[in-house]
Structure 1
Amino acid sequence: MERMPSWIRQHLAAIRAVVVLTVLLGLIYPLVTTGVAQAVFNGKANGSIVQKDGKDVGSAVIGQLFTDKDGNPVKTYFQSRPSAAGDGYDPTSTSASNLGPEDIVDMLPVPGKKDDEGKPDEGKQSLLTQVCARSKAVGELEGVSGARPFCTPDAVGAVLKVFPFTGKVTRVVSVNQACPAQPFIAEYQGVKVECGKPDEDYSAGRTVPVRGDAGTPAVPADAVTASGSGLDPHISVAYAELQAKRVATERKMDLAKVKQLIQDNTVSRSLGFMGEPAVNVLELNLALDKAS
């Protein structure tokens, strides 16, 4: 019997390999792993769904917002940290902002200018200004100072553009404070500080962030920064304790009882040494509803 040409044998071997691997890795392996997950980790395998009165209200491993239809915090609930995932905690858009510590200069909105969709130009806030604005908002909500280093009193990044780049200073602009705002400092090295003009290019200037005298912030870092995934369901114990007085007052509950609920819903470090203790916001708010 005449043997088949080598190229035909090679193609048949390749087809057999595709069929075997498809059945093994595309059918048997997923069925086995799914079956083991359902048998051993049923709740976690199905998304760690949390229920209230028999209805699904969220997931223990995906955060959510506790705001009204206008995006304002619901004062009777503990608030989650900011999220950069879509409009907030969208699992289909999990992401970070990709803004780093050097992102400190805003793109000021130009009055009368419209974007590609015909909407008024809103400019673009730097990460620093976002942090400053969030800190001020949280401070106002919780009745504490929202001041932070490198932030102006009007909650934008305290950043100067100094001209020329080297040599004797002849011009200074507070680039994140659009005119006619009053610059956060009057002078820099004897030169009067100007407010920023939205349609002017300041890229040739030297960037000088100004720390100021805000001291240690009263608002914790996780209250003003988003997690890498944008889906973190936890907040720090410090942020939870900052909110305790407001929640207790709004619910007319004893503050000590609210703090006990925080403690009851605090999870320890992963494996006992990684990270910091944290509070699951959804589970804490459900415990609040049950207690009150």
Structure 2
Amino acid sequence: MERLPSWLRQHLAALRALLVLTVVTGVIYPLVTTGIAQALFNGKADGSPVEKDGKVAGSLIIGQSFTDKDGNPVKTYFQSRPSAAGAGYDLTSTSASNLGPEDVVDVLPVPGAKDDAGNPDTGKQSLLTQVCARSKAIGEFEGVSGARPYCTADGIGAVLKVFPAVGTPTRAVSVNQACPATPFVAVYEGVKVECGKPGEDYSAGRTVPVRGGATAVVPPDAVTASGSGLDPDISVAYADLQAPRIARERHLPLGTVQTLIQEHTTGRALGFMGEPAVNVLELNLALDGKRG
């Protein structure tokens, strides 16, 4: 019997390998892992759904937003932390923002400019400005100070670009405050501070975040997203910050709301790992069981 050409034998071997790997990794492995998950972690494997009035209200292990149809936070509910997963708590886009503490300079939108898709230029907010804006908004929502270090009074990252990068300053620009805004500080080391001009390149300057004298009242988890973007818990400090609003909106004694927070606070993992946390969905469902 005549042997097949070597090129054909190679293609047949590759095809067999493809079929075997498809069956092993695409059929057998998913079935085995799903079976083990269902056997050992039945509730969590199915997403730990929680029902209310016969309908699924959410998940104990996957966070969600408590907003109205326009995306505004509902005043009668505790609010979750921010999420960088898609438009917020999107299971198909679980991720972090991948922005770190060095991300402090905004890209200012250029008036009249458009992006590659033809949409108006919206610029890009740095992580610092995102945190400042969230803190300001939460402060207004909760009736407390939203001020925090390295933030301007209008909720923007308080950052200067100083020229030259080394030596005595001859120019200083508040790069996150677009003209004609008034810079958050008038003078830096004897040099008048300018507002930022959209489209101008300030990369050659030295980046100088200005701490200021503010003390943060809004907790860190209220203004930063979790690594997965799906964290269902908030800190006790953030829950306590929201308690007066909840009590006021639901016509409940503040002590009743604070007791509910305590009842739904979980301790540190293994007694020493992490911090105590409050599951937002459980807390909100418990609130719905109280009459005000």
Q: Structure 2 CA distance, aligned partners of 1:283 and 1:61?
A: 11
**AA at the equivalent of 1:161:** K
Aligned to 1:281: 280
Are the structure 2 counterparts of residues 117 and 12 from structure 1 closer, same or farther at C-alpha, using a change threshold of 3 Å? closer
Are the structure 2 counterparts of residues 190 and 47 from structure 1 closer, same or farther at C-alpha, using a change threshold of 3 Å? same
Aligned to 2:232: 233
The answer as to 2:282 corresponding to 1:272 is: no
TM-score, normalization by structure 2: 0.90
- Deviation string, structure 1 residues 176-201 (Cα, Å, up to 9, x no partner): 11111111111011111111111211
Name the stretch that deviates more: 219-228 or 107-116. 107-116
**AA at the equivalent of 1:233:** P
C-alpha displacement at 1:42, in angstroms?
2.3
Within 5 A, what are the aligned runs for 1:33-48?
Answer: 33-48=33-48
Q: Structure 1 CA distance, aligned partners of 2:122 and 2:13?
A: 60
Secondary structure of 1:139's partner?
A: helix
Q: Structure 2 CA distance, aligned partners of 1:152 and 1:18?
A: 58
RMSD of aligned residue pairs (Cα, Å)? 2.5
For the 8 Å contact 2:101–2:127, the answer to whether it is kept is yes
Name the stretch that deviates more: 277-286 or 25-34. 25-34
Within 5 A, what are the aligned runs for 1:161-180?
Answer: 161-180=161-180
Aligned to 1:95: 95
Aligned to 2:159: 159
- Aligned residue pairs, count: 288
Q: Structure 2 CA distance, aligned partners of 1:19 and 1:92?
A: 28
C-alpha displacement at 1:35, in angstroms?
3.8
The answer as to 2:190 corresponding to 1:190 is: yes
Aligned to 1:255: 254
Q: Structure 2 CA distance, aligned partners of 1:109 and 1:16?
A: 55
C-alpha displacement at 1:78, in angstroms?
0.4
C-alpha displacement at 1:18, in angstroms?
8.7
Are the structure 2 counterparts of residues 154 and 27 from structure 1 closer, same or farther at C-alpha, using a change threshold of 3 Å? closer
Are the structure 2 counterparts of residues 103 and 29 from structure 1 closer, same or farther at C-alpha, using a change threshold of 3 Å? closer
Name the stretch that deviates more: 131-140 or 258-267. 258-267
C-alpha displacement at 1:34, in angstroms?
3.6
Aligned to 2:119: 119
Secondary structure of 2:274's partner?
A: coil
C-alpha displacement at 1:232, in angstroms?
0.5
Secondary structure of 1:193's partner?
A: strand
For the 8 Å contact 2:44–2:61, the answer to whether it is kept is no
**AA at the equivalent of 1:202:** Y
Q: Structure 1 CA distance, aligned partners of 2:135 and 2:109?
A: 22
- Deviation string, structure 1 residues 107-140 (Cα, Å, up to 9, x no partner): 0111111122222211110000000000000111
Counting aligned pairs with the same residue, the percent is: 76
Are the structure 2 counterparts of residues 13 and 291 from structure 1 closer, same or farther at C-alpha, using a change threshold of 3 Å? same
Q: Structure 1 CA distance, aligned partners of 2:15 and 2:127?
A: 53
C-alpha displacement at 1:26, in angstroms?
6.1
Are the structure 2 counterparts of residues 213 and 35 from structure 1 closer, same or farther at C-alpha, using a change threshold of 3 Å? same
TM-score, normalization by structure 1: 0.90
**AA at the equivalent of 1:273:** F
Are the structure 2 counterparts of residues 186 and 32 from structure 1 closer, same or farther at C-alpha, using a change threshold of 3 Å? closer
Unaligned runs of 5+ in 1: none
Name the stretch that deviates more: 237-246 or 23-32. 23-32
